[in-house]
Amino acid sequence: MLCTRAALCFFLTLAATTATYAQFTDASGDLGFSGGGKAAFGDYNNDGFVDLYSGKLWRNENGKRFVEVTDSGVGGGEAIWGDYDNDGNLDLFTFTGVGALYKNRGDGKFDTIEFPELPTKNSRGAVWIDINNDSLLDLYVGGYEIWQQTVHPDVVYMNKGHGVFEEVWRSPSNYSARGVAAADYNGDGFVDVYVSNYRLQPNFLWNNNQKNGFEDVAEQTKSHGIPDAVIEYTGGIKYPICGHTIGSCFGDMNNDGLIDLFVGNFSHPRPGQDHPQFLQNGGPKKDFVFQDRSKSAGLAWQESYASPTFGDFNNDGTQDFFFTTVYGVGSGNIHNYPVLYLGKGDWTFEDVTEAQQVSKLPPTYQAAWADIDNDGDLDLCTAGKIFRNDNQLTGKWLKISLAGDGKKANRSGIGAIVRITVGDQIITRHIESGTGEGNQNDLTLHFGFGELKADTVTAEVTWPGNYKQIVDGLKLNQRHTLRFE
C-alpha cells in the first residue's frame, strides 16, 4: 500500500549559495572524451557511474575516464535511454536514420530489435513515455522535414510487450518538429508531450487525456508561441507566425511544486519572431495556463539560440540553465555563443557564462547534465566536451534514483516527479528522457539544498498514474534508490 500522507515540511530556509568563482573545468582531455552529436546520459552497465551516448557509446570508468566502446553492438546516430522491457537494464533507441532499438543484454552487449521504419530519416528528437500507464515505455518521435520538399509527421509507437512496437498515431498537422520534451505538467497522472516546432510554426502541447489519446492544448494554455500574422508554408499549410523553436525543457523554475516550461526560440532580428520564453505554470487555480515571465528573466537576446537544459549546478536548490547557440556569427556580424545562467528562484537569472569559464564555446546542439564523478554536483556535456564541476562550496545535495516494479510503474521511473519541501520551497524534479533538441540528462535526479541545517529530508514521489509514495529520513550528501511499493 502506498503512503499518501503529506510530506514533512522543514521550517528552515535554503541559504543562497552563490557562484562567484569558476567551478567548471574542461576535463575532456583528462577523461579521454571527444564525443560529438547530441548527448544522452545513462548508466547502461549498472555500476553506479553514469555513461554517455554521444554519436557512439562511452563507458564511464569510476568517474576518471570515458572509454569508447566499439564492440557493444550499438550503431551510430542520436539516441535516448530507457528500459523498455523492465529488466533493469537501460536500452537504447536511435531516432535518426531509419530508427533502431537496441536491447541491453546486461553483459555490456546489445541486440538489435526489429522496429518499424520511421517515416523520416532526419528526426531531431524523441522521448520515451508511458502513454497509457501500463508500465511499458512507449516512444514519441518527432518528424521534422526535408527543406522545401516535404514535412514529416510526428509518430507514436506503442510498446506491446515482448519487444514489439506498433505505430498507433501520427500528428495531424505537418509541422517541422525539432526537440521533444515530456512531463506531467497538469498533475493528472498521465505524462504529456511538448514539441518544439520550427519555421515560425506554433508549438504542440499534447495533453495526454487518458482515453482519447493526445489533444493539442498549446493555444489554450498559452504555450504555443506569440502568434502574429498568418503565413502560408510548404504544402499550403497556413498558420500564425510564432517562433523558430529548436529545443525546450520542462522544470520547476520557482520551487512552487509545479512544472514550468522554457521554450528555446531561434529568432532572427526582424519583427514577428518569438524570442525565448520563460513560462510559469499557473497550476489548477488557473487551469494550468502558462504565464510569460520572460521580461523579468534577464536573458540577453542572441539570434541562434537552440538547445536548453535545466540543472542546479551550484547546489542552492534553484534551477539554473545552459543554452546553446548554432551560429558562430549571426546577422550583423554578431558573434553568438552558448550561455550559462544562474537561477535566483524569483524568475530572474544571472549570466555567469564567463565567470564559470564556459564562454566562447563553438556552435552546438549538445547540452546535458549529469554527475559523472559522483561528487554531488552536476557536470556538463556540450560542444563535444565534458566540463567537470569542481564545486568548492559546502552546499548540501541529494541524488535519487527511482526503480519501478515493472507492473504498475516502469523500471526507469520515467515520468515520475519527486518533491522535497523545505520551508516554503517545494524543490521539484522529474525524470525525463529528452531535453532541448535530442539530448538527455541523467535519469538520476539531483537536488541541491545550500546550507540547509537539517541532515535528512522527506521526499514525496509521484509515479505515473498518480501513485504517491512518501519516504522519510533520506540522508543528505548521499545517493538513494527508491523502489515502487
Question: Which residues form the domain of 253?
Answer: 24-483
Q: 353 is written with which cell numbers?
A: 557564462
Decide if 467 is inside a domain.
Answer: yes
Contact by Cβ (8 Å): 259, 185? yes
CA distances from 353 to 172, 252, 253, 256, 261 (A): 40, 22, 19, 27, 22
Hey, which residues does 261 pair with through a beta bridge?
250, 279
pLDDT in 10s for each residue of the chain, 485 residues: 333 333 333 333 454 445 555 699 999 999 999 988 999 999 999 999 999 999 999 999 999 999 999 999 999 999 999 999 999 999 999 999 888 999 999 999 999 999 998 888 788 999 999 999 999 999 999 987 666 557 788 999 999 999 999 999 998 877 888 899 999 999 999 999 999 998 878 899 999 987 668 999 988 999 888 776 666 665 566 666 777 889 999 999 999 999 999 999 888 887 777 888 999 999 999 999 999 999 999 999 998 899 999 999 999 999 999 999 999 898 888 999 999 999 999 999 999 999 999 999 999 999 999 999 999 999 999 999 999 999 877 689 999 999 999 999 999 999 999 999 999 999 999 999 999 999 999 999 999 999 999 999 999 999 999 999 999 999 999 999 999 98
Contact by Cβ (8 Å): 298, 349? yes
Decide if 207 is inside a domain.
Answer: yes
Contact by Cβ (8 Å): 271, 451? no
- State phi, psi for 286 to the nearest 5 degrees: -120, 25
pLDDT confidence of residue 148: 57
Decide if 49 is inside a domain.
Answer: yes
Decide if 18 is inside a domain.
Answer: no
Q: 204 is written with which cell numbers?
A: 504542440
As a whole number of Å, the end-to-end CA separation of the chain is 7
Report d(CA 123, CA 422) in Å as an integer.
Answer: 41
Report d(CA 177, CA 390) in Å as an integer.
Answer: 36
Contact by Cβ (8 Å): 138, 129? yes
90-95 long-range contacts, CB within 8 A, separation 24+: 90/42, 90/43, 90/44, 90/412, 90/443, 92/42, 92/44, 92/53, 93/126, 93/128, 93/139, 95/123, 95/125, 95/126, 95/141, 95/142, 95/438
Query: What is the CATH classification number for the domain harbouring 338?
Result: 2.130.10.10
How many structural domains does the chain have? 1
Tell me which residue of 352, 318, 358, 319 sits closest to 338, measured CA to CA. Answer: 358
pLDDT confidence of residue 268: 85
Decide if 414 is inside a domain.
Answer: yes
Contact by Cβ (8 Å): 39, 439? yes
CA distances from 67 to 51, 58, 147, 269, 345 (A): 10, 5, 37, 43, 38
Torsion of CA 279, 281, 282, 287, to 10 degrees: 110
- For residue 481, which amino acid is it? T
Decide if 3 is inside a domain.
Answer: no
The residues, ordered by sequence, that sit 6+ positions from 287 with a Cβ below 8 Å of its Cβ are 221
Q: 172 is written with which cell numbers?
A: 495531424
Decide if 135 is inside a domain.
Answer: yes
Burial call 195-221: b when 16+ CB within 10 Å, e when fewer: bbbbbbbbbbbbbbeeeeebebbbeeb
Decide if 190 is inside a domain.
Answer: yes
Contact by Cβ (8 Å): 48, 61? no
Contact by Cβ (8 Å): 84, 414? no
